[in-house]
Structure 1
Amino acid sequence: MALYLGLTLVPILIGSLAAVSCALLGNFLVLRRQSLMGDAISHVVLPGIVAAFVLTGSMSAIPMLLGAAAAALLAAAMIEIVRVYGKVEPGAAMGVVFTALFAFGIVLLEQTDTGSIHFDVEHALYGNLESLVWLAGIEWAALIDPIALSDIPPQLPRLAMALVVVVGFLAVAWRPLVISTFDPTFAAAAGVPVRLVNAGLIILVAMVSVTAFEAVGAIIAIAMLICPPAAARMMTDRLLPQIAWSVAFAILAAAGGYVAAGAGVALFVEGVAVSAAGMIATVAGVTLLLAAAFGPRRKGAKA
Structure 2
Amino acid sequence: MGFLVAGTCGLVGCFVILRRMALVGDAISHSILPGITLAFLLTNSRDTLPMMLGAVAAGVVTVALIEAIRYTSRIKPDAAIGIVFSSLFAVGVILISVFADEVDLDAECVLYGELGFIPLQDIAYFGGIVIGPEPVVRMAIITLIAIVLLFAFFKEMIVTSFDSGLAASLGINTTRYQYGLTLFLSIVIVSSFESVGVVLVIAMIIFPGATALMLTDRLPIALALSTVISGAYSLLGFHLATWLNASIAGGMTVIAGIVFGIVWAFAPQRGLIATLVRNRQIMEESALNFSREEK
Residue correspondence of structure 1 range 109-120 to structure 2 within 5 A: 109-111=96-98, 112-113=100-101, 115=103, 117=104, 119-120=105-106
Please tell me whether the aligned partners of residues 126 and 277 of structure 1 are also in contact (alpha carbons under 8 angstroms): yes
Which residue in the other structure is 2:283 paired with?
A: none
Q: Could you report, residue by residue, the CA deviation over 1:256-290 in whole angstroms, capped at 9, with x for unpaired residues? A: 2122111x22xxxxxxx411111111111111111
Q: CA deviation at 1:133?
A: 1.3
The structural deviation recorded for 1:145 is 10
Rate the CA distance shift 1:295–1:46 in 2: closer, same or farther, 3 A.
same
CA apart distance, 1:128: 2.5
**CA distance 1:82–1:197, change in 2 (3 Å):** closer
Partner of 1:280: 252
Give 1:37-186 correspondences, 5 Å limit. Answer: 37-75=24-62, 78-79=65-66, 88-111=75-98, 112-113=100-101, 115=103, 117=104, 119-133=105-119, 149=130, 152-186=132-166
Shift in Å, 1:243 = 1.0
Q: Matched residues, percent identical?
A: 36
Shift of 1:37: 1.7
Counterpart of 1:140?
none
Q: Which amino acid in structure 2 is aligned with residue 64 of structure 1? A: M
- CA shift, 1:44, in A, is 1.3
Gaps of 5+ in 1: 1-13, 138-143, 266-272
2:179 to 190, 196, 199: 199
Q: Deviations over 1:23-51 (max 9, x none)?
A: 00100111222221211110111111122
Deviation for aligned residue 1:110: 4.2
Identify which of 232, 254, 259 aligns with 2:212. 232
Q: CA deviation at 1:130?
A: 0.9
Distance change >3 Å, CA 259–CA 54, structure 1 → 2? farther
Q: Is contact 1:173-1:197 (8 Å) kept?
A: no
Match of 1:59, SS state, is: coil
| Residue 169 (structure 1) shift | 0.9
Letter paired with 2:79: A
Shift of 1:154: 0.7
In 2, Cα distance between equivalents of 1:243 and 1:78? 30
Amino acid at match of 1:278: G
Measure, in 2, the Cα distance between the counterparts of 1:84 and 1:183: 20
What residue identity is the alignment partner of 2:252? Answer: I
CA RMSD, Structure 1 to Structure 2 (Å): 2.8
Q: TM-score, normalised by structure 2?
A: 0.82
Corresponding residue for 1:5?
none
CA contact (8 A) 1:110 1:121 kept: no
Which runs of no fewer than 5 residues in structure 2 stay unpaired? Answer: 279-295
- Shifted more, 169-178 versus 102-111: the winner is 102-111
Q: Does structure 2 retain, via aligned residues, the 8 Å contact 1:16–1:251?
A: yes
1:213 corresponds to which of 190, 193, 208: 193
Rg comparison, structure with higher value:
2
* Cα offset, 1:297, TM superposition: 2.9
Asked whether the equivalents of residues 128 and 216 of structure 1 are also in contact (C-alpha less than 8 Å), the reply is: yes
Distance 2:5 2:12 in 1: 11
Question: 2:80, 2:126 → 1: CA distance?
Answer: 53
8 Å CA contact 1:110, 1:120 repeated in 2: no
CA contact (8 A) 2:114 2:247 kept: no
Bigger shift: 187-196 or 242-251?
A: 187-196
